[in-house]
Amino acid sequence: RSRDLDEKKELYREEEVRWYLAIDPEANELLAWSLDANGCYQSVTATDTLEVDICKNCNLSLDLIRMLR
């Protein structure tokens, strides 16, 4: 778990990956971070749906209720 939430997240940040998502099966939740203009990940909170802007004309809508049943 710490590998996913610390090491991997840092590697993704260094490579400027816009979004980092991780599922925590113990807490039954999706953890999400979005890269800000300064190159730092900011935690994103969503309760029902998470909208991920992958690129200029491509968005992904994640239905968290269905995903985490």
- pLDDT band for position 68 (cuts 50, 70, 90): confident
Average pLDDT, the chain: 87
Q: What is the share, in percent, of the chain residues with pLDDT greater than 90? A: 30
Name, in order, each residue with C-beta under 8 angstroms of 8's C-beta and a sequence gap of 6 or more: 20
- Average pLDDT on 6-33 reads 90
Q: For residue 51, what is the enclosing H or E element?
A: strand 49-55
Question: What pLDDT is recorded for position 35?
Answer: 93
The 41-44 sheet, strands edge to edge: 19-24, 29-35, 41-44
Q: pTM, whole model, 2 decimals?
A: 0.77
